[in-house]
Amino acid sequence: MESKNWNSEFPEVPEHVHQTVLSTLAELEHRKVKRVKRMKKSKIVILIAAAIAVLGTTVCAAEIFKWNNRAAEVFVADEEQRQKLVTEQIATGEYQTVSDAGLTIQAIQTVQDNSCFYALFEITADDKSLQITPGHDMGLLIDYPGGENPFGYVGYGFVDEREQAVSNSRYYEIYGTKTNPQSTGNEDLNMKLQFTSLNAPGGKATAGEVVLTGNWEFLLNLHATEPVCYELNKEYQIDGCAVTVKSVELTPISVKLTCDEAGARQLEKLEGVNIDQADSLVSLYINGIKYQDGTIVEEEGYQELWVSCENGDYTKAARLTSVIDTDKVSALLVGDANDEIALP
Amino acid sequence: MNKKQFTTEVLEAEKSLYHIAKSILRNDEDCADAMQNAVLHAFEKLHTLQNEMYFKTWLTRILINECHHIIRSRKEQVPYEDYCEAEASVQEEEYSEVFDAVMKLEDNYRIPFVLFYVEGFSIKEICRILKLSQSTVKTRLYRGRKLLKEKLVGAYGYGE
């Protein structure tokens, strides 16, 4: 089924549709291309230095930084774990507020490790009659001054109605997933976020009409997180198959699991799926984290961030439902049978 | 990106845009409207495109939005189900059985299916286009494929 040439089953572009496109393109001759001024690198460097000087204080301010409730809901963690994440600079309080064109945007908190990134903002319209709904959207540009974009996927949007009543103020969240294993280096990452507009609710796939435009810029310095790494190279029984697990990397908010491809192919066959066609292996869903004292932290195993199958390795990264204490982990529990991948 | 590059990129993506519009709207007149609006809208918003590498993905997002606008406007005039049925009865016999089977999938499965299998977008690109998580896209592809297989075997005897 996968090898079928699906494209040939779909109709060719009818001539009148093609003519419509051509006439539309011809019409553009009378329109101008809008250009956006890009900041000079030197200016970016100065701004970053200023931001780091300000944000650097957040490290010292770990004791006084309090998690935002919304962020605490997203990353299920008790008070002790929250403080630990602040101390380890995985969670960072932000103290940047920008107002322009009747809209105030406040950066509240970031949470990140070597696999994923989360940023929480609160966006408030001065005009209280302007109701910001979950369907509204923000024009957003992201730059990585001096570095490449390490994120394979960045999702963003206002929190939905179940979480917050509709008013002139609403939380706005950005989620990023680093899909390139090579990009998970040990250097801090500087991100420049530039909001450019507030847009009315549009369709499912893009923004609606622009409500207001402005310039709201934020510089975030994301601290690199060292994961706890286990080089295992050991065979485990997973769903009745012998699978060699090469390594496990843990941070308090995510896990990266690397198996040999041959083992993954056995599971693929058993489950009747096709990992080359982006199917997930249910038998490798991480459904629990077992602590040394026998306590089990249940996980929603399907929270995959990315999967790769290359060079003889099958690697997956998943965000954890609850924050974990990496020092106490004794095993990962995978699949419906909760097969144990014991850690030394 | 200048005007000339924009024109070239749009024409290169034309077939793909048509297939995607067709999979949502069915009616060629509506497809032409959606494509026209998407091209104009994209040109207006070209300054917001961060990376030209993602032009096609970005344009596809805009197109899908335009398609949904058209569906919403149709809904205001007649129930959408009636509209779809009327369109299907007019145009159904003109296309291949496989195309018809794909068109019978629900929206949730059909659009990711067309983006992935027909137009060759990657999972990551589909996530960006539809603003869905990777796991959701994968699940929809998996279920869409399964449903399509059932439809093809059941209605047309494929694979029997």
Instruction: Give the burial string for A318-334 (b: 16+ CB within 10 Å, else e).
Output: bbbbbbbebeebebbbb
Q: Which residues of B touch A207 (CB under 8 A)?
A: 65
Q: Which residues of B touch A2 (CB under 8 A)?
A: 117
- Nearest alpha-carbon partner for A216 in A74, A103, A86, A90: A103
| Alpha helix (H) residue ranges in chain A | 15-27, 41-55, 57-60, 69-74, 79-87, 261-271
- What pLDDT does residue A97 have? 92
CB atoms within 10 A of CB B109: 20
Q: Which residues of B touch A5 (CB under 8 A)?
A: none
Residue A62 C-alpha, separation from nearest chain B C-alpha, in angstroms: 32
Q: Please check whether residue A306 is in contact with residue A152, taking contact to mean a CB–CB distance below 8 angstroms.
A: yes
Which of A13-22, A56-65, A208-217, B28-37 has the weakest average pLDDT?
A56-65
What residue of B is the nearest CA neighbor of A279?
B138
**A296-334, pLDDT tens digit by residue?**
988 876 677 778 888 889 998 888 888 999 999 999 999
Query: Quick check: is A100 in a domain?
Result: yes
User: Is the pLDDT confidence value at A271 over 70?
Assistant: yes
**Across all residues in chain B, what is the average pLDDT?**
81
Query: Quick check: is A16 in a domain?
Result: no
- What pLDDT does residue A29 have? 65
Pairing of strands A210-222, A151-158: unpaired
Q: Please check whether residue B28 is in contact with residue B70, taking contact to mean a CB–CB distance below 8 angstroms.
A: no
Binning pLDDT at 50, 70 and 90, where does residue A236 land?
very high
- What pLDDT does residue A287 have? 86
Task: Examine the domain organization and report whether A150 and A214 are in the same domain.
Answer: yes
Here the CATH number for the domain that contains residue A305 is 2.60.40
Highest mean pLDDT among A16-25, A156-165, A243-252: A243-252
Query: Quick check: is A143 in a domain?
Result: yes
Binning pLDDT at 50, 70 and 90, where does residue A8 land?
confident
User: Is the pLDDT confidence value at B48 over 80?
Assistant: no
Task: Examine the domain organization and report whether A88 and A188 are in the same domain.
Answer: yes
Q: Structure tokens of A326?
A: 């990496």
CB atoms A280 and B68 under 8 Å = no
Q: Looking at A222, A241, A261, which one is the last position of a domain?
A: A222
Residue B19 C-alpha, separation from nearest chain A C-alpha, in angstroms: 7
Instruction: Give the burial string for B45-60 (b: 16+ CB within 10 Å, else e).
Output: bbebbeeeeebbbbbb
Q: Which residues of B touch A177 (CB under 8 A)?
A: 134
Q: How many domains does chain A have?
A: 2
Q: Where in chain B are the domains?
A: 1-94, 96-160
DSSP-assigned beta bridge partners for residue A212 = A198
Q: How far is CA A283 from the centre of its chain?
A: 24
- Nearest alpha-carbon partner for B137 in B149, B125, B145, B127: B127
- What pLDDT does residue B91 have? 52
Task: Examine the domain organization and report whether A203 and A238 are in the same domain.
Answer: no
Task: Examine the domain organization and report whether A105 and A208 are in the same domain.
Answer: yes
Query: Quick check: is A19 in a domain?
Result: no
Query: Quick check: is A34 in a domain?
Result: no
**Across all residues in chain A, what is the average pLDDT?**
81
Q: Structure tokens of A208?
A: 């609606």
ipTM, two decimals:
0.85
Average pLDDT over residues B91-106: 78
CB atoms B39 and A24 under 8 Å = yes
Q: Please check whether residue A259 is in contact with residue A286, taking contact to mean a CB–CB distance below 8 angstroms.
A: no
Task: Examine the domain organization and report whether A212 and A297 are in the same domain.
Answer: no
- What pLDDT does residue A47 have? 41
DSSP category for residue A66: -
Identify the CATH class of B1-94. mainly alpha
Q: Structure tokens of A106?
A: 């406040």
- What pLDDT does residue A40 have? 38
User: Is the pLDDT confidence value at A56 over 50?
Assistant: no
A38 inside 8 A of chain B by CB: no
Average pLDDT over residues B36-58: 81
More confident residue, A87 or B89: A87
More confident residue, A280 or B139: B139
Task: Examine the domain organization and report whether A218 and A264 are in the same domain.
Answer: no
User: Is the pLDDT confidence value at B141 over 80?
Assistant: yes
Q: Structure tokens of B1?
A: 């990106």
Query: Quick check: is A93 in a domain?
Result: yes
- What pLDDT does residue B77 have? 60
Task: Examine the domain organization and report whether A198 and A253 are in the same domain.
Answer: no
Facing residue for A302 by CB, picked from B35, B94, B135: B135
User: Is the pLDDT confidence value at A62 over 50?
Assistant: no
Q: Looking at A170, A196, A222, which one is the last position of a domain?
A: A222
Q: How far is CA B77 from the centre of its chain?
A: 22
User: Is the pLDDT confidence value at A220 over 70?
Assistant: yes
- What pLDDT does residue A119 have? 94
- What pLDDT does residue B72 have? 75
Q: Please check whether residue A246 is in contact with residue A260, taking contact to mean a CB–CB distance below 8 angstroms.
A: yes
Q: Structure tokens of A227?
A: 């994961």
DSSP-assigned beta bridge partners for residue A175 = A118, A155
Q: Work out whether the CA dihedral B25, B26, B29, B34 comes out positive or negative.
A: positive
Residue A38 C-alpha, separation from nearest chain B C-alpha, in angstroms: 11
Q: Please check whether residue A217 is in contact with residue A141, taking contact to mean a CB–CB distance below 8 angstroms.
A: no
B34 inside 8 A of chain A by CB: no
Binning pLDDT at 50, 70 and 90, where does residue B134 land?
confident
Binning pLDDT at 50, 70 and 90, where does residue A38 land?
very low
CB atoms B64 and A33 under 8 Å = no
Residues 97-126 (B) with a CB less than 8 A from some CB of A: 98-99, 102, 114, 116-120, 123-124
Facing residue for B69 by CB, picked from A142, A179, A203: A203
Q: Please check whether residue B47 is in contact with residue B141, taking contact to mean a CB–CB distance below 8 angstroms.
A: no
Residue B98 C-alpha, separation from nearest chain A C-alpha, in angstroms: 6
Q: Looking at A222, A252, A269, which one is the last position of a domain?
A: A222
Average pLDDT over residues B45-69: 82
Here the CATH number for the domain that contains residue A72 is 2.60.40.1630
Q: Tell me what percent of the residues of chain A surpass a pLDDT of 90.
A: 36
User: Is the pLDDT confidence value at B87 over 70?
Assistant: no
Task: Examine the domain organization and report whether A70 and A216 are in the same domain.
Answer: yes
More confident residue, A341 or B82: A341
Domain around A91: 41-222
Task: Examine the domain organization and report whether A68 and A133 are in the same domain.
Answer: yes
Segment holding A257, helix H or strand E: strand A254-260
Task: Examine the domain organization and report whether A111 and A78 are in the same domain.
Answer: yes
Whole-structure pTM value: 0.56
Binning pLDDT at 50, 70 and 90, where does residue A63 land?
very low
CB atoms A141 and B127 under 8 Å = no
Q: Please check whether residue B29 is in contact with residue B36, taking contact to mean a CB–CB distance below 8 angstroms.
A: no
Binning pLDDT at 50, 70 and 90, where does residue A2 land?
low
Strand order in the sheet with A116-125: A91-100, A103-112, A116-125, A169-178, A151-158
B2 inside 8 A of chain A by CB: yes
If 0-12 CB within 10 Å is exposed, 13-18 middle and 19+ buried, where does residue A344 land? exposed
Task: Examine the domain organization and report whether A120 and A194 are in the same domain.
Answer: yes
Query: Quick check: is A282 in a domain?
Result: yes
User: What are residue B46's phi and psi, to 5 degrees?
Assistant: -55, -30
Residue A80 C-alpha, separation from nearest chain B C-alpha, in angstroms: 30
- What pLDDT does residue A44 have? 37
What residue of B is the nearest CA neighbor of A139?
B48
How far CA A85 is from CA of A63, A89, A175, A228, in Å, comes to: 11, 6, 18, 14
Interface test with A, best of B53, B107, B135 (most A CBs within 10 A): B135
Task: Examine the domain organization and report whether A237 and A292 are in the same domain.
Answer: yes
Q: Structure tokens of B113?
A: 């299916």
Identify the CATH class of B96-160. mainly alpha
